Amino acid sequence: MALGSDDKVRSFNAQTRRSLAPPVLDAEAKRRQRLRSIAIAWALAAIALMFFLVTIIRLGANVANRPL
Amino acid sequence: MSETQVSIESSVSTTTAVASVGDYIALLKPTVMSLAVFTAAVGMAVAPVHMHPVLAITALILIAMGAGAAGALNMWYDAEIDGLMQRTAKRPIPRGLIPRDEAAAFGLFLAAFSVLSLGLLINWVAASLLAASIVFYLVVYTHWLKRRTPQNIVIGGAAGALPPMIGWAAASPGVSWEGFALFLVIFLWTPPHFWALALYRSRDYARAGVPMMPNVYGPDRTRLEILIYTAATALSGFLPVLLGFAGYGYAAVAAALGAGFLFLAWRVFRVRGGFEADKASRQLFTFSILYLFALFGALWVDHGFGLGR
């Protein structure tokens, strides 16, 4: 049976909502996602610290050589 | 309840598989990475310039990232054949834990980040060598050679042999004969290491259509080439002594390890059938890993872990 125009709009809306709907995760998947987020946060912090430390070491005593 | 509501609710009740941190670490081939980091650390330690410990650790972290990037990009490219082989079928992409595109993005990001950071924080010679090893592993080995010629791992071995040169260059910008000698040891070690594996995994490689030496020229020719390359590896182990950057203690360890490596390669050459032949190949494969770690470890100890200068 052919769809009416209202049905087509409803069908289109339903498909759009389906494609935009976030996947529902079970407890294990949520736990893994949380651990991944924590690992990324630690990695970013470690990289920032690494750049800071290397900059300080490269500058050496020149760190203090600035107008006060 | 309308049909539309039912379809929406049913679509959101599905569960999506989420990769764990461990799956991403597996994507970086941690065993290969550890070998790259260890040999790079030894390259650094034997270089004539003492590195500040923080700079050395930073360089090693970035070399590890670069090696991991090469591993991830290799898994991205080889995902289909990995799924066909028993040894690699449990990798994160064939298991459907990490989407292929995501692995490619992860690998490219790590490659770019590691090379640029090594250049900015340490020096551009080391960064160029790291970039060369990643490109060589991905383009020359994985793309051009792996599925075309039984010499794949002979030539491709150059990528895995570069870390000591990268480590050396990180400490003392430039390349040297000493760094090249360490490169040569790993380069010559690679064929007997992988061909020992290919001997007892030949059906795996045949299923995936990878032309390893035993599949193309047969196991007997492979056994002979293993013996020749093992002899060359054992001799190259003395190069650090001949070039004057290792002492007699190291020479004694290199002699003992070389003799063990040759003995096992000889057994692989002699024992040609059944379970015993497989066992001999497995023992040679396992020993080859120990050989490289112990040889480079001896060189590290010989140099007082690089802390003496």
> Smallest Cα–Cα separation from B60: which of B49, B70, B68, B48?
B68
**Residue A60 C-beta-side C-alpha neighbours within 13 Å:** 4
> Smallest Cα–Cα separation from B46: which of B252, B306, B251?
B306
Above 0.85 for ipTM, yes or no? Answer: no
- Best residue in A3, A9, A57 for a mutation probing chain B (most B CBs within 10 Å): A57
Chain A residue with minimal CA distance to B4?
A14
- B11 to chain A: which residues are within 8 Å by CB? 18, 21
Assign a CATH topology to domain B21-174. Answer: Tetracycline Repressor; domain 2 (1.10.357)
Chain centroid to CA B91: how far?
Answer: 16
Is pTM, for the whole model, over 0.80?
Answer: yes
Distance CA B46, CA B43 (A): 5
Which of B13, B16, B54 has its CB closest to that of A53? B54
For B45-98, write each residue's pLDDT tens digit.
Answer: 999 998 999 999 999 999 999 999 999 999 999 999 999 999 999 999 999 999
Contact A23 B52 (CB under 8 A): no
Distance CA B254, CA B45 (A): 18
Distance CA A65, CA B133 (A): 39
For the CA atoms of B120, B125, B131, B137, what is the dihedral angle to 10 degrees?
Answer: -150
B7 touches chain A (CB under 8 A): yes
Q: Contact B299/B42 with Cβ under 8 angstroms?
A: yes
Distance CA B66, CA B217 (A): 34
Low-confidence ranges of chain B (pLDDT < 50): 1-15, 308-309
For A9-49, write each residue's pLDDT tens digit.
Answer: 888 777 777 667 777 778 888 888 899 999 999 999 999 99
Q: What pLDDT does residue B13 have?
A: 36
